[in-house]
Chains A and B, each alone.
Chain A
């Protein structure tokens, strides 16, 4: 064996195989993010509801799911979601969706990601809404807007704008968390990387060049670092723009920055 490092990258179709796997992770992250944003907004509004029962029940739901390890949720759903539900998922998945989405396992992985992230995002949104000065709501009321109108036209547009940087940070976390679905055997970049380490040395199936596990996963890590670093720059940029626009930093006090740690 030669001392050449990362020689395996150009052997066979290793590079393409891994990059395509990484694309699956990005797809999962985007779909989960969209669903989690919608569910998170609903949870945030329910938690801010003036009905105490609703608000307390939602509060418990949110606090439980954002304090549990995501992997625990994914593994639980993997074992708990019945076969019939997985088959329904497989039947309903449109044929133009990429191959890994057709696996019923994706239902468990995606549900876990959405369950966890919607709880985290709900907290971020609630903090964004609560960070608005009281006067905004009072002014809306004085102008004769009812609760729904003032939410829709006054509170939400401003509150949600403030949570944009925190949401981008959460997207970075979510991006990293998509690797966890490999543990329930969904084929994405982690699984594909393992395949490469196993087959690359074979002259028929690989390129005949050994792919050391260390190098393969360093490369996978690098892919995540590039995308996430770009996202974090974007988040900074948005923060700066918001500061320039409003003349003050959007101080969104989210209890705990653990939301930004995967």
Chain B
């Protein structure tokens, strides 16, 4: 019955829409965290100071090599049991944000290295301080060369956000919604196909948006 397929969507439309926007919200908030922290870590990584570089390096290797699910266990039940009152939502977006920040930092670092050294020297000789040079000269250019890797990271975040809903944090995101509907109605295939479509819409839109940004701003070196 093809209609049963559509029924699953129409009967649970509000739930699906809500799950969809919860996923969007998780991704957006985590992305902001990832960009802020990632930029900071990248600045550490390229700082003219060995100790700071080391700190940035440890951050990247820690968060890039740890499974996100383990991180969620540390930040939610782990911290709560240790007496930190953290909500599932905060634990989720902060974990995803910090996790992705490691990748953001690596992309930015490669972007920074693609800015010719002469520009940094010129800026320093013009009297800019090192942080100023980074902020005004290097980073604006670095960001433009890394639009496409950052875009890929957003797509990865959309996929990874499902781990937050699927784990013990159980935020009502798209995957959780599909799962609940599947177990309530026993229409496993339609429930998951609609949830999957939601994710494909998101990744598809992200891909298109990145492609447009790329043609507008990207600098190829």
Chain A residues packing against B (C-beta within 8 Å): 64, 67-72, 75-76, 79-80, 172, 175-177, 179-180, 182-183, 190, 193, 212-214, 217-218, 220-221, 224-225, 228-229, 232, 255-258, 260-262
In the assembled complex, the CB of A208 is this many whole angstroms from the nearest CB of chain B, namely 18
Q: Are A180 and B69 in contact (CB under 8 A)?
A: yes
Q: Are A176 and B155 in contact (CB under 8 A)?
A: no
Distance, CA A76 to CA B179, complexed state (A): 8
Distance, CA A212 to CA B80, complexed state (A): 11
Q: Are B159 and A229 in contact (CB under 8 A)?
A: no
Q: Are A258 and B152 in contact (CB under 8 A)?
A: yes
| Chain A positions within 8 Å of B156 at CB level | 258, 261-262
The 9 A-B residue pairs whose C-beta atoms are closest, nearest first, are A69-B162, A214-B78, A256-B152, A258-B156, A228-B65, A261-B156, A176-B67, A258-B152, A217-B73
The residue of chain B having its C-beta at the shortest distance from the C-beta of A77 within the complex is B192
Q: Looking at the complex, which of B115-123, B131-139, B196-204 is the stretch in contact with chain A?
A: B196-204
Main secondary structure of the interface of A (DSSP, over half): helix
Distance, CA A258 to CA B107, complexed state (A): 11
**B209 in the interface, Cβ–Cβ < 8 Å?**
no
Q: How many residues of B contact A (CB 8 A)?
A: 49
| Chain B positions within 8 Å of A75 at CB level | 166, 175, 179, 192
| Chain B positions within 8 Å of A69 at CB level | 158-163, 175, 199
Q: Are B67 and A179 in contact (CB under 8 A)?
A: yes
Q: Are A256 and B155 in contact (CB under 8 A)?
A: yes
Main secondary structure of the interface of B (DSSP, over half): helix
| Given contact pairs A179-B69, A256-B152, A262 touches B82 in the complex (Cβ within 8 A) | no
Distance, CA A175 to CA B67, complexed state (A): 8
Q: Interface digits, B127-156 against A, CB 8 Å rule (1 contact, 0 not)? A: 000000000000000000000110111011
Q: Are A258 and B155 in contact (CB under 8 A)?
A: yes
Q: Are A213 and B81 in contact (CB under 8 A)?
A: yes
20 new A-B contacts at CB < 8 Å, known A256-B152, A257-B153: A68-B200, A69-B160, A70-B162, A71-B163, A72-B162, A75-B179, A79-B183, A212-B81, A213-B74, A213-B81, A213-B82, A214-B79, A217-B74, A221-B74, A225-B61, A225-B65, A232-B61, A232-B64, A262-B68, A262-B156
Q: Are B192 and A71 in contact (CB under 8 A)?
A: no
| Chain B positions within 8 Å of A214 at CB level | 74, 78-79, 81-82
Distance, CA A72 to CA B103, complexed state (A): 23
| Chain B positions within 8 Å of A80 at CB level | 188-189, 192
Chain B residues packing against A (C-beta within 8 Å): 61-62, 64-71, 73-74, 77-79, 81-82, 100, 103, 107, 148-149, 151-153, 155-156, 158-163, 166-167, 175, 178-179, 182-183, 188-189, 192, 195-196, 199-200, 203-204
In the assembled complex, the CB of A52 is this many whole angstroms from the nearest CB of chain B, namely 22
28 contacts between A and B (CB under 8 A): A69-B159, A72-B175, A76-B188, A79-B182, A80-B188, A80-B189, A80-B192, A179-B69, A179-B70, A183-B166, A190-B69, A190-B70, A212-B81, A212-B82, A213-B82, A214-B78, A214-B79, A225-B62, A228-B64, A232-B61, A232-B65, A256-B151, A256-B152, A257-B152, A258-B155, A261-B103, A261-B152, A261-B156
| Chain B positions within 8 Å of A225 at CB level | 61-62, 65-66
Distance, CA A175 to CA B175, complexed state (A): 22
Distance, CA A257 to CA B77, complexed state (A): 31
Q: Are B192 and A224 in contact (CB under 8 A)?
A: no
Q: Are A257 and B196 in contact (CB under 8 A)?
A: no
| Chain B positions within 8 Å of A176 at CB level | 65-68
In the assembled complex, the CB of A71 is this many whole angstroms from the nearest CB of chain B, namely 5
From B151, B179, B189, B200, give the contact of A67 (CB < 8 A). Answer: B200
